[in-house]
Every structure is written in structure tokens, then in C-alpha cells.
Amino acid sequence: MIIKNANIYLDTGDFKTGGLIIEEDRIRQVGTTQKEETDCGAVPLKKEDDVIDASGLYAIPGLTDIHFHGCAGYDFCDGTKEAFDAITNYEAAHGVTTICPATMTLPEKTLANICRSIASYQNNQGSILSGIHMEGPFLSVKKKGAQNEAFLHKPDIELFRRLNKLCGNRFKIVSIAPEEDGAMDFISEICKTAVISLAHTTAGYDLAAEALKHGASHVTHLYNAMPSFHHRDPGIIGAAFDNPDCTVELICDGIHLHPSVIRATLKMFGEDRIIFVSDSMMATGLPDGTYSLGGQTVHVTGKKAVLGDGTIAGSVTNLMDCLKNAVINLGIPLETAVKASAVNPAKRIGIYDNYGSITPGKVANIVLLDQDLNVKMVLLKGKKLN
């Protein structure tokens, strides 16, 4: 397959017009000089639809969402093939071609069943399941957000290992409140296995800084479910900023964070440390109504999903729409938004060797967007989805 005349997002972090050659599921060549483009066009064709004229379109790498719970009427924690198929198909159709969905705070038995289902799951058509984000149960009751208090659990190394074994060692991220008993030992040990993310926490600056020294290196949905950034008490946000190896998540759905906060945080942390996530729940892609998250009732109106007490319960916006919102409504450069939605998350969970950029040798997960950032075509493993 050849894609010609596309405005390609390169692994240098900028756009340039050129062509692509795709063989089977891999990117063979990226041509952005006149000679390279001519070489792309000179490849022998097998059939008419081997050439895609992408004039006027952006070509970006497929996105990677490392924190979301569901979409299209299904929750990842449903733990069924039907749910996994629906979620992966929806995400792929919206240009999110690799995913690392999140669990909720649930009993070990329920989490174990989910893990068993994931270990045996095979999907040949939707987004590539690249790992799991364990968001619960090692969180603070005072900052539980939409997590179910009844099933919160002290950090437990053996519990994590049991679950990780059941899912075939698929956990890429573990969210944890560092103030909980046993958290530092957990962080020191499990950071050898998965990315440790600080989350749903009351921790101040000093405690968060200690957790980062012990091996934590990420923060789950920055600003949400944690103390605010105060000029005399910068808290976990300040500690994360002071640690140059720490990445942070931002939910750009237009509900969780004020636009000014997103713009300021990008300047504060720099574009290499920011990861856009959707934190989407099962109502994403569906009309207003009553849904559930982690066994709790969620009411959805417009772009807002809340529990009965008004607590925000995830989002109803997929990651591609978060990217679009950031660029069109918040004034974030497209190059920055693509880096935060495709490059940085792939690097964070260790899959960048194969995904996250349009680079020869990598899997051909490519999204073509029009000038208004609407998805016009998705290539998943080199094959057209739409």
C-alpha cells in the first residue's frame, strides 16, 4: 500500500508532506523529499486500492490511551469477550489503535476473573491490547473519587503478584496512594515490574517526593483526586514537577480541567512529560442516561458523568476527541497534542519500539485526519478499517 501527498507527523515531532510505503503490517518507507516521494510512487502495485491519495490530510500515528475504563456501553471490568471486542472495536474506529485500559476498585475475586479473561482474550480486528492499568484498589478513602470505598485495600505486593500472574503479566501501570500503610515497600518492589503512578491521594510534597525516590514515576490524572497546587504547599503536583523522570496524565475532555490549567501545565512540565488520557467510561459514544462504573450508578448529561453525590465519574470523551478539543478549543499545537496522545504514552508503557510513531519498521497504525481533525481513515496493522 502507498499513501501519497499526506502531511505526515514525523518522529522528529513536526509535519512534512510526503508519502508512505506499507508492506503487510509494517511501515517500510517514509518519503518526505522529492526523490523519496518519487520512490514511493514507483513501487509496483498489485491492485487499484493500493494507493491512497491523502492530499489535504494529516497522517498521524495511532493513539495510545493508557487510562480509560470503557466505551460503547461496555466497561473493561465486565471481563467478557463481548465487552473487550466492543471496546477494542470502538477505540480502533476512533483512531486509538493501542490501549491500556484501567480496572476499578473491586474485590480480588472480581479482579481475578477479569485477569483470567484478559489472559485468554484474542482479538484480530480492534485496537491492540498492550497492557492493563491497575487504578484500584490501593487508593486513599479521602480521595477515592468514583472508586468504591467498600473495596479499597492497603498496598499488597502479593495481591498484585497474584493478579499479575493471572493476566499473564499484563499490568503496565499500578496507581497507588503513597500515604497508605505499606506503600513505600510496594513501590520499591513493584516498580521493577510496572510503572508506579501516584493517584487518589492526600499526600503532600514531601511524601510524594519520597515515593518518587522509591521508584514511582507517573501521576494519574494530574490535579484530580489529589491536593491542589498551592504556593506554600505544592503537594504531589510540585513533587512531580521537581522530578524530571516523572510523567503526568491530563484529561482534556473539557470537564476535568480548565483550559488555562492544561496550557499552563504543558509549559510547566514540557511536552515530553505530558500524557493525554480520556478516563472514559461505558457511556462514551452513547446518549445521555444512567450507566455504571465500578458497580456504582453514573448519570450522564452532555459531556459530564457524575455519581449520585455529584462526584465526577470518568469522562464520556474518547482520546481522539480529547486531542481534537485540546487543539481546536484550547489552542494546543497539533504537534504537541499528537506527542501527548501517541508518542509519550507508548514510551511510558514500553511499547514505543513498535508503536507510537510513523517510522520505518514499526507497525502501520496510522490515522488520516482532515483539517478539522475529523477521522477520515484508520489503518490498523496496515489494513483499512473505514
Any idea which residues carry the catalytic annotation? 279
Closest alpha carbon to 185 in 218, 156, 151, 143 = 156
The angle that helices 235-242 and 205-214 make with each other, rounded to 10 degrees, is 40
Length reported for the chain: 386
- Run of H or E including 97: strand 96-99
Q: 309 exposed, middle or buried (CB, 10 Å; 0-12, 13-18, 19+)?
A: exposed
Nearest to 2 by CA among 34, 42, 55: 42
Q: What is the dihedral of CA 54, 60, 66, 68, to 10 degrees?
A: -40
Q: In Å, what is the CA distance from 376 to each residue of 13, 45, 184, 278? A: 22, 23, 47, 21
Residue 159: CB atoms within 10 Å: 17
Number of Cβ within a 10 Å radius of residue 284: 30
Residue of 143, 174, 152 whose CA lies nearest to 311: 143
Phi and psi angles of residue 316, each rounded to the nearest 5 degrees, phi first: -120, 35
CA distance 359 to 298: 41
User: Which alpha helices (DSSP H) does the chain contain, by range?
Assistant: 34-41, 81-93, 108-120, 157-166, 183-190, 205-214, 235-242, 259-269, 319-328, 334-338, 344-348
Q: What distance in Å separates the CA atoms of residue 280 and residue 65, rounded to the nearest whole number?
A: 10
